[in-house]
Amino acid sequence: MSFTAVKLKIAAIFAGIAIALLAALIILGVSYYFFGVLPTSGFFFLIIVMVLVMDIIQYAISPYIISRIYHLKPVSRDDMSMAWLYVSLEKVCNLNNQKVPMLFIADTDMPNAFAFGSIISGRRMAITKGLLKILNKDEIEAVMGHEIGHLKHHDVALLLAIGLIPTILFYFGYTMLFGSGRRNGGSIILVAIGLVAVSFIFNIMILGVNRMRESYADLNSALTIPGATDSLQTALAKIVAYSGGNPRNRGFRRKSTTSSISSMLMFSGDNDVKAYDHIALLESWKRKKVRVKDSIFSDHPHPAKRIQNLEKIKQENQSKGIL
């Protein structure tokens, strides 16, 4: 694995640990200072259990809800019309030393792909009809390499776990505000409001972790699929050019029943896309200076940033004599 891959992996792991540690310190400090108890007693414990149970239930059943919402149809090697797609997935999985997940076609013309699943449903990957219409075989395999990267690195479970932190903080603040505010005076109300505010800050931090995981998934494709540094770039440009930057044309959006999936999408929208020529769009991204505000509230890196990262990987591979 390249040095870039190691840096991305370390950054993602430490970001997750830092978020969890900071949240734990806040919860312990507030509860001990104002209540003299640890979060394992009273309503603190009930809130943690409630949020945990809700997330586990959502994690377990969401693949089945998603399958119904997006009218997913399974694909197998025996399906003559789609056998080539299944063979491509087998190839990508072999290159990644991964078991082949269940493959589905989503009945929508919007070009996208996503990985999902749970312990109950097993690992799954969905590709839309729209993606099959605009990408060639090499580009589809590069996209598959990206999605397999999510499954390989357990991104769904990781994001679910760290996503519990702002939810717990929010409910702590909410319960303290409406359940204990009158009894404990104005100071506890300020603390409760502070916890709610901190929960939103954590959500922004988690978006940053998700962007790192997306970059890591891009990297996985680039390092495991031959020619993917170029194929993934053209695939992303075609997806965005076809979508046209219209918020109504961005494929799947974040919903309460599919929030864990929106973060696994190949593409999650770009509100400054003007070009429809994917070649011109790709070239403009290579020169674009990406500012922090361009993606700070997004669960995906700005497409230009993804292209520039892939270009760096391509240059590293060329310097090592890797085609």
Catalytic site residues? 147
Antiparallel, parallel or unpaired: β 102-106 and 122-128: parallel
Instruction: Give residue 36's region: left, alpha or beta (phi > 0; psi -120 to 50).
Output: left
Give the length of the chain: 323
* Residue 302 neighbours by CB distance under 10 Å: 20
Within the chain, what is the greatest distance between any pair of CA atoms? 70
Those residues with Cβ within 8 angstroms of residue 162's Cβ, 6 or more apart along the chain or in another chain: 16, 19, 20, 206, 209
Q: Which residues neighbour 238 within 8 Å (Cβ) at sequence distance 6 or greater?
A: 111, 134, 135, 139, 278
Q: Is 247 left (phi over 0), alpha (psi -120 to 50) or beta?
A: alpha
Residue 184: exposure state from Cβ atoms within 10 A (0-12, 13-18, ≥19): middle
The angle formed by the CA atoms of residues 99, 149 and 54, to the nearest 5 degrees, is 90
| Cα separation, 156 vs 263, whole angstroms | 8
